Amino acid sequence: MYDRSGQKVVLITGCSSGIGAHCARRLMQDGWKVIASARKPDDIAALRQAGIEAFELDYADTGSIASFFDRAMEATGGRCDALYNNGAVSQLGAVEDLSTDALRHQFEVNFFGYHELTRHVLPVMRKQGHGRIVHCSSILGRVPVRWSGAYNASKFALEGLALTQRMELEGSGIRVSLIEPGPIASNIATNALEYFLANVDQDTSPYGTEYVKRISILKGDAKSKRRKDGPETVYKALRHALTSQRPRAHYPVTTKAKLGILAQRLLPSGLLYKLLIRSQ
């Protein structure tokens, strides 16, 4: 049975690449016992090769969530000091063009999956008398942009749920935080393009001309990564949320995210939304 003299345990999801992979490795280097998740066998193998225990998790599959949690608890002797819900998908497309099934899948992964895994973890944390729950939200959970309505909505919902639970858990020793990144170098744009092509009919859409521009931007995202902040900026926020005696409710990450929140506070809503339209 796992012991290792009080080493803290963190569960991190979505560790195949980008933010999750970076944070898993950094937390391991900082002395945490890391239990990571990914969906593909090759990604799980890569994490294990790096010395990180990793298991399969698909947020859209209730059985997969339960299996991941059970295997994680078996590997840690039933201990869980922190959960970082990080895995996500991005369904692009105008709201008008999205089927309810496409919208539902967005929520299954980015919202319901987070909630379900959190509910598995909470009894363990309550028994311990402490715990940290950190959700990877987005600046788009506070300031929306066009063509990302499904993603925006899933993150807005996550913000409301997490902040409510933060208040409900007051006094329990369990603290809830939201990390709200702006543009970060990752593979999410590549994955977003796949979902877009699978679920949006460009030929019949009134936004067809705009989609041509969007696709061009997505395909060029690999080149634009160098102009984005790296995942280490998210790790700084995560480390504070996990270790500070006073973890914050909100951790906006990147200058663009902070400017977006500032603009939302200072500008009349009509002007704000006009500027958001022009920014795209």
Quote the Cα angle for 84-90-94, to 5°.
145
**155 touches 162 (CB < 8 A):** no
- Is 151 one of the annotated active-site residues of the chain? yes
Euclidean distance between CA atoms 144 and 271, whole angstroms: 14
Euclidean distance between CA atoms 207 and 202, whole angstroms: 8
Question: What is the number of other CB atoms lying within 10 angstroms of the CB of residue 242?
Answer: 22
For 198-255, the DSSP string reads HH--TTT-TTHHHHHHHHHHHHTHHHHGGGSB-THHHHHHHHHHHH-SS--SEEEESH
For 131, half-sphere exposure in the C-beta direction (CA atoms, 13 angstrom radius) is: 27
Exactly one of 59, 84, 114, 151 is catalytic; which is it? Answer: 151
Q: Which helix (H) or strand (E) holds 174?
A: strand 174-181
Euclidean distance between CA atoms 102 and 199, whole angstroms: 7
Question: What is the number of other CB atoms lying within 10 angstroms of the CB of residue 190?
Answer: 13
Euclidean distance between CA atoms 2 and 75, whole angstroms: 6
Q: CA torsion 153→13→195→207, rounded to 10°? A: 30
Query: What 3-state class would DSSP assign to 183?
Result: coil
Catalytic (active-site) positions: 151
